[in-house]
Structure 1
Amino acid sequence: MDGTTLIYGAVTLVLAVILSCYTVLVLLSPALVVPHEQDKKYRSRNTPNPTPLPSIHADPEVDLTVVVPAFNETQRMPTMLKSTLAYLASAASPAKTHEVLIVDDGSRDDTSDLAMTFAKENPGHEIRVVTLHRNLGKGGAVRHGMMHGRGKRLLMVDADGASRFEDVNLLWDAMDKFAEDASIAIGSRAHLVKTEAVVKRSVVRNVLMYGLHTILRVVGVGHIRDTQCGFKLFSRRAAQLIFPYQHLCTWIFDVEVLLLAKQLRVPVAEVPIEWHEVSGSKLNVLTDSLQMLRDLLILRANLVFGRWVAPPATTKQQIQ
C-alpha cells in the first residue's frame, strides 16, 4: 500500500467521522420552538377570555415588562409577586409604567389560577397570564415571555424571589450607561461565592458550580462570572435581536442567550445583586447537571458548525 493510498484512506476516515458527528448533532439539536395556538394568547383582569399577545417587534407600550417563568409555583410565587408589585408601585421604581407577564410553563398545579387571582386583586398593575399548553422548560418560558413583552426594557426574574427585586435599579442604571440601543444588564452572585449564601450549600452543588464555570470558559462565556442568575434586564432592541434565535429551552439557556449577545456585539454589564437561596428548587442536581453538560456540548458544536447564529441587523426593519 503506497503513501497516496494511506493519505486517501485517512482523509476518507476523517470526513466520515465528521459527517457522522454532524449527523448526530443535527438529530440531537432542538429546533426553534413553534408556539401552539394556546400559547399565543393571554388572560388578565380586564381580559378574562384568551386574547392575542403582542409581538416583541411591535412598538413598546410600557417602560418595563417583568417576565416571570413559573412551573408549579403556587407556594413560592405569592411572596415574590407581593414584593415585586409593591416595589413597582413605589416612587423608587425606575419604571413609571409596567406590566408583569407570568408564563405558566405547563404547570400541574394552580399556578395560572393563582396568577389570575393576583391580577384581579391588584387593579393598579397590568398582570398578564400566559398558560403554555405543555412544559417547555425554563428557557422556553423565558423566551416566550420575551417574544411577547410590551416593555422598552424587559426583565427576566425567577418566581422564587431569590433575587431582591429592588436591585432592578442597579441593572437599570448600568444599562443607562450604554450608548447602544441594544444592551443587557445581568444580576450576578459572583461576589457571594465566599459568603454563607453559597458556602452553606451542599458540597455537591458547589463542586458542580465550579465545574460549570470551567466548562463555560471553554464554551466561550468566560468573561461572564455568573451566567445563571435569574435576574436579567434586556433592552427591547436586544430582545428583538436575540430571542427569536434562542434554541435551548432547558436550564442552560442563559449561556446561549449570552453567546448570541457576544456574536452580535451586544454589550453586557454584570452587576452584583443581593441573593438568597430559596427552598423548593425544581433543579435535580444529578440529572439536570448531566443535561446541562449535554446541552453545552450541543451548543458549542452548533456554534462551531455555524448552525446556530443570529443574523446581524443594522436596522429595525431587518429583524421584523
Structure 2
Amino acid sequence: MDQNTVLYAFVSLIVLLISVLYAALVIWSPQSIITYSSEKKYRCRRSPNKPIPLPYIDDPATVDLSVIVPTYNETERLPKMLEPTIKHILSLPKRKTEILIVDDGSADGTAALALEYAKKNSEIEIRVITREKNSGKGGAVRHGMLHSRGKRLLMVDADGASRFEDLELLWVALDRVGGKSPDHAAIAVGSRAHLVKTEAVVKRSFVRNLLMYGFHTVLRVLGVGHIRDTQCGFKLFTRKAAQQIFPSQHLTTWIFDVEVLLLAKMLSIPVEEVPIEWHEVPGSKLNVVTDSLQMLRDLLILRANHLFGRWKVSQSTVKVVPS
C-alpha cells in the first residue's frame, strides 16, 4: 500500500468520523422550543377564568420589575417562597412590580394555588401562566422572560432557598455595570460561591462534592469559568439583556443557566456576581447522579452546536402552534 493510499484512507476515516459525530449531534440536540397559543395567555385576580393575552419581550416595558417564578408541582414549597416575596415587594411601593408564576405542566394544582394568591393580593399583580407540557425549568424561565413587562427581570426559584431581600444587592450591582440605562444590557447573578467552605457544603456527600468540582472544571473548559456559581436560581436582567439572550436559548433542562451566561459572554454583556444568603430546602427534584450526567451531555451539545455554527445568537427559536 503506497503512501497516497494510506493518506486517502486516513482522510476518509476522519471525514466519516466527523460525519458520524455531526449526525449524532443533530439527533441529540433539542428541537426548537414550541410555544402553544394557550401559553401566550395568563390568568390573574381580575380575570381568573378568562385568559388574557400576554405581552412580548420586544414590547416597551410598563413596570419596573418582573419576577419570574418557574414552578413544577410546587404546592408545598411555593407559599413559603411567595409570602416573603410579596412582603418585600409591598415594602417598596414606588417600584411597580409584577409576579409571573409559570406553571410548567404541574399535576398537583400548582396553577390553582398560584391563582388563589393572585386573587387575595390586590396590591400587586400576580399573573399565572400554564404551560401545556412540562419542558423543564429552563423552558419555564425562558417563557416567563419572553412574556414579561419589566424594565428589569428577576428569575427566582419557587423553593425560597434564596433570601428575596437580596434582590436589593443585585439591583445595586446591576446599576454598577450600567443597568440604569434602558438601552444597556447587563446581568447581576446571585452567587453561593462564598458558602463553599461552610458547613452546609463541607458536610455534603463525597459524590455530590466530587460532581460539583468536576462540573466547575468542565465550565472552565467551555469558557464560562469566570462565573463561580452559574446555577444559583437568582438572576436579575435588564430588559435589553433579556431581549438579546432568551430568544436564542435552546436548552430547557437544569443546565440552561450555563447557556444563558455563555450567550451573555458571546454578546459581551457584563455580568456581576453577587454573594447572597442561601439555604438548602427539602424537596429538590434534582437527582444528583442522573441529572449530572444529563448536564454533562447537554454542555457538550451546547458547545458543539456553537462550534459547528448550528446555533447562532441572532437566530429566532420561537415557534407558535395552535392549541
TM-score (norm 1): 0.94
C-alpha distance in 2 between matches for 1:110 and 1:179 = 40
1:276 aligns with 2:279: yes
> Deviation at 1:289?
1.1
Amino acid at match of 2:78: M
Matches within 5 A, 1:67-78: 67-78=68-79
Identity %, equivalent residues: 65
Q: For residue 83 of structure 1, what is the aligned residue in structure 2?
A: 84
Contact 1:183-1:234 at 8 Å conserved across structures: yes
Q: For residue 133 of structure 1, what is the aligned residue in structure 2?
A: 132
In the TM superposition, structure 1's runs of 4+ consecutive aligned residues that sit over 6 Å from their partners are none
Residues 121-169 of structure 1: CA distance to partner in whole angstroms, max 9, x if unpaired? 1110100000100100000000000000000000000000000000101
Matches within 5 A, 1:1-320: 1-48=1-48, 49-91=50-92, 96-179=95-178, 181-311=184-314
C-alpha distance in 1 between matches for 2:63 and 2:204 = 39
Residues 179-203 of structure 1: CA distance to partner in whole angstroms, max 9, x if unpaired? 3610000000000000123223333
Amino acid at match of 1:35: T
Q: How many residues align?
A: 310
> Deviation at 1:297?
1.1
> Deviation at 1:175?
0.6
> Deviation at 1:32?
2.4
C-alpha distance in 2 between matches for 1:153 and 1:190 = 24
2:119 partner SS: helix
Contact 1:32-1:246 at 8 Å conserved across structures: no
2:144 partner SS: helix
Contact 2:177-2:272 at 8 Å conserved across structures: no
C-alpha distance in 1 between matches for 2:294 and 2:27 = 16
C-alpha distance in 2 between matches for 1:167 and 1:204 = 30
Contact 1:188-1:271 at 8 Å conserved across structures: yes
Residues 24-75 of structure 1: CA distance to partner in whole angstroms, max 9, x if unpaired? 1011101221201221111000122111111000000100000000000000
Residues 238-263 of structure 1: CA distance to partner in whole angstroms, max 9, x if unpaired? 00000001000000000000000010
Contact 2:68-2:145 at 8 Å conserved across structures: yes
> Deviation at 1:204?
2.2
Amino acid at match of 1:18: I
> Deviation at 1:173?
0.4
C-alpha distance in 2 between matches for 1:233 and 1:246 = 16
Q: For residue 321 of structure 2, what is the aligned residue in structure 1?
A: none
C-alpha distance in 2 between matches for 1:200 and 1:45 = 44
C-alpha distance in 1 between matches for 2:127 and 2:205 = 37
C-alpha distance in 2 between matches for 1:54 and 1:252 = 27
Contact 2:173-2:274 at 8 Å conserved across structures: yes
Structure 1 unaligned blocks of 5 or more = 313-320
Contact 1:99-1:128 at 8 Å conserved across structures: yes
1:20 partner SS: helix
Q: For residue 315 of structure 1, what is the aligned residue in structure 2?
A: none
Structure 2 unaligned blocks of 5 or more = 316-323
C-alpha distance in 1 between matches for 2:208 and 2:105 = 27
Q: Give the aligned CA root-mean-square deviation in angstroms.
A: 1.2
C-alpha distance in 1 between matches for 2:279 and 2:200 = 6
C-alpha distance in 2 between matches for 1:68 and 1:35 = 18
Contact 2:66-2:99 at 8 Å conserved across structures: yes
Q: For residue 318 of structure 2, what is the aligned residue in structure 1?
A: none
> Deviation at 1:9?
1.5
Greater mean alpha carbon deviation, residues 200-209 or residues 21-30: 200-209
